[in-house]
Structure 1
Amino acid sequence: MKKATSTDLSELTQLINSAYRGDSSRKGWTTEADLLGGIRTSETSLAETIAQPNTAILLHRDETTDALIGCVYLEQKGDLMYLGMLTVSPEIQAQGIGRKLLQEAETYAHSLGCQAVEMTVISQRAELIAWYERRGFALTGETRPFPMNDPRFGEPKMDLEFVVMRKGLE
C-alpha cells in the first residue's frame, strides 16, 4: 500500500465522493446521502491534507487493473493515530477491502509507535459503528459536534453528532 501524492488527487476525489454522496454511493452500504448533501471532499482539500505533517492517505489499488478502489486517512497525534475517510468503491464493497485497509492502517500506526487508533463516526450510522466494533473498536462514551456550517464536511440534512471509537494496538 502506498501513500497518496498530488498525482493521485483527481482519482482519489472521485473515489471518495462516489462512496459517500450522491446516487453512486447508494450502490454500497457506506453512503451518507440520506444524512448529508454536497460533496464529501475536493481536490483542494485533499491536497491540503496530504501536505500536512503527520498525515497520510493510504491507497489500495486493484492488483489486476491498478484502479484505485480504496483509501484511508491517517493523522498521527502523539501516540494516537486518528483514522478517517475509510473508503471502498461502492461497486465492490463487502469483499474484505475495508478490512484490509483497516489492517494496513493499524500496521502503519504501530510502525510509528502509536498505542491506539481513534476515529469519529456519525452517531446515526449504527451499521458502521457495529462494523467497527466487530473489528475491535469500542465506543468511548465521548461525543463531538458535527461541523454544521462548514461546507467542507457537506450539508447536513438533520442534526448530527460524532461518537468517538478507539482501539488499542498491541
Structure 2
Amino acid sequence: MITTAVLDDVSALEKLVNSAYRGETSKQGWTTEANLLQGKRIDTHELSALFQNKENTILKFTKDNTIVGCVLLVNKGDKIYLGMLTVSPNLQNSGIGKQLLKAAETHALELNINKIVMTVISIREELIAWYNRHGFADTGDREPFPLNDTDAIIAEKPLEFVVLEKIV
C-alpha cells in the first residue's frame, strides 16, 4: 500500500534508504551504490529536514506493516523533482519501484504538473536504462555530484549526475 510518509517514519526510512544504496545489504539488490560510494546515503537529520519543507512529499510503500519502498517528490512549481526512489534490496524486481513511479506521476498530475525530473549517477547505466524503459529521457544536462560529510568516493570513474525527465 502506498501512502504519504510522516515524521514518525524517519527512522524506518533512514534504515531502508541506507540498506538499499550503501553497505553489504545493498549488494543483495541491483540498485546498490556500494561499489561507488561509502558512507550513509542519508541520515535522520537530513530526512527530518525534508519533512519540514511543505514542497516535499515522501511516499512510502508498506508491506506487512513495514516500509519497503519510498520516493521523494519535490514540487518545483512547473515540475516535480523525483529522488530517493528506494526499494528494499530483497524485494527489488517485484514491481514496487514501478508502483512508486506511477504514484509519483499521479501526485504530479494532482498538482497540475506534467513534468517529472530526476538525476542519476552517470555511470549507473543499468539504472538509467530502467528509467528509460519507464519513459524518462536524458535531457543532455549534467550536474556535479555533491558529497555530504559521510560520503567517500571509491569509484574509479568521476561521478556526475545525468538529468532525466518525463512528461506525464
TM-score range, shorter chain: over 0.9
The residue number in structure 2 matching 1:151 is 149
The residue number in structure 1 matching 2:11 is 10
The residue number in structure 2 matching 1:142 is 141
The code of the aligned residue for 1:143 comes to R
The answer for unaligned runs of 5 or more in structure 1 is none
The residue number in structure 2 matching 1:58 is 59
Q: Structure 1 residue 100 and structure 2 residue 78: aligned? A: no
The residue number in structure 2 matching 1:72 is 71
Residue-pair matches, total: 165
CA RMSD of aligned residues (A): 1.0
Q: 2:143, 2:108 → 1: CA distance? A: 23
Runs of 4+ in 1 over 2 A off after TM superposition: none
Cα distance, 1:147 vs structure 2: 1.0
SS in structure 2 of the partner of residue 151 of structure 1: coil
Question: Bigger CA drift: 1-10 or 20-29?
Answer: 1-10
TM-score of the superposition, structure 2-length normalised?
Answer: 0.95
> What does the per-residue CA deviation read over 1:5-26, in whole Å, with 9 as the maximum and x for residues that have no partner?
1110111100000000000000
The residue number in structure 1 matching 2:165 is 166
The residue number in structure 1 matching 2:121 is 122
Cα distance, 1:133 vs structure 2: 0.3
Cα distance, 1:79 vs structure 2: 1.7
TM-score of the superposition, structure 1-length normalised?
Answer: 0.94
The answer for unaligned runs of 5 or more in structure 2 is none
> What does the per-residue CA deviation read over 1:18-65, in whole Å, with 9 as the maximum and x for residues that have no partner?
000000000000000011110001111000011112101100001xx1
> What does the per-residue CA deviation read over 1:129-149, in whole Å, with 9 as the maximum and x for residues that have no partner?
00000000000000000014x
Q: 2:16, 2:66 → 1: CA distance? A: 10
The code of the aligned residue for 2:162 comes to V
Cα distance, 1:113 vs structure 2: 1.1
